[in-house]
Chains A and B, each alone.
Chain A
Amino acid sequence: EPEVTQTPSHQVTQMGQEVILRCVPISNHLYFYWYRQILGQKVEFLVSFYNNEISEKSEIFDDQFSVERPDGSNFTLKIRSTKLEDSAMYFCASSEGGQGRIYGYTFGSGTRLTVV
Chain B
Amino acid sequence: SQQGEEDPQALSIQEGENATMNCSYKTSINNLQWYRQNSGRGLVHLILIRSNEREKHSGRLRVTLDTSKKSSSLLITASRAADTASYFCATNSNYQLIWGAGTKLIIKP
Q: Choose from B42, B92, B99 the contact partner of A100 (Cβ within 8 Å).
A: B92
CB pair B42–A35 under 8 Å, yes or no, is: no
Majority DSSP secondary structure for residues of B touching A: strand
**Given the complex, which residues of A lie within 8 Å of B33, measured CB to CB?**
100, 104-105
A99-B30, A99-B31 as given contacts; A105 in contact with B97, CB under 8 Å: yes
A103-B48, A104-B33, A105-B33 as given contacts; A98 in contact with B41, CB under 8 Å: no
**Given the complex, which residues of B lie within 8 Å of A56, measured CB to CB?**
94-96
Q: Shortest Cβ distance from B4 into chain A, in angstroms?
A: 8
Count of chain A to chain B residue pairs whose CB atoms are closer than 8 Å in the complex: 68
Q: Which of A38-46, A65-73, A80-88 contacts B (4 or more CB under 8 A)?
A: A38-46
Instruction: Check if A64 is an interface residue, CB within 8 A of chain B.
Output: no
When chains A and B are docked, how far (Å) is the Cα of A103 from the Cα of B45? Answer: 9
CB pair B43–A48 under 8 Å, yes or no, is: no
Instruction: Check if A55 is an interface residue, CB within 8 A of chain B.
Output: yes
- In the complex, the chain A residue whose C-beta lies closest to that of B50 is A101
- In the complex, the chain B residue whose C-beta lies closest to that of A54 is B95
A91-B42, A109-B41 as given contacts; A101 in contact with B97, CB under 8 Å: no
Instruction: Check if A25 is an interface residue, CB within 8 A of chain B.
Output: no
**Given the complex, which residues of B lie within 8 Å of A76, measured CB to CB?**
none
Instruction: Check if A31 is an interface residue, CB within 8 A of chain B.
Output: yes
Instruction: Check if B101 is an interface residue, CB within 8 A of chain A.
Output: yes
Which B residues have a C-beta under 8 Å from some C-beta of A?
Answer: 30-31, 33, 35, 40-45, 47-48, 50, 88, 90, 92-102
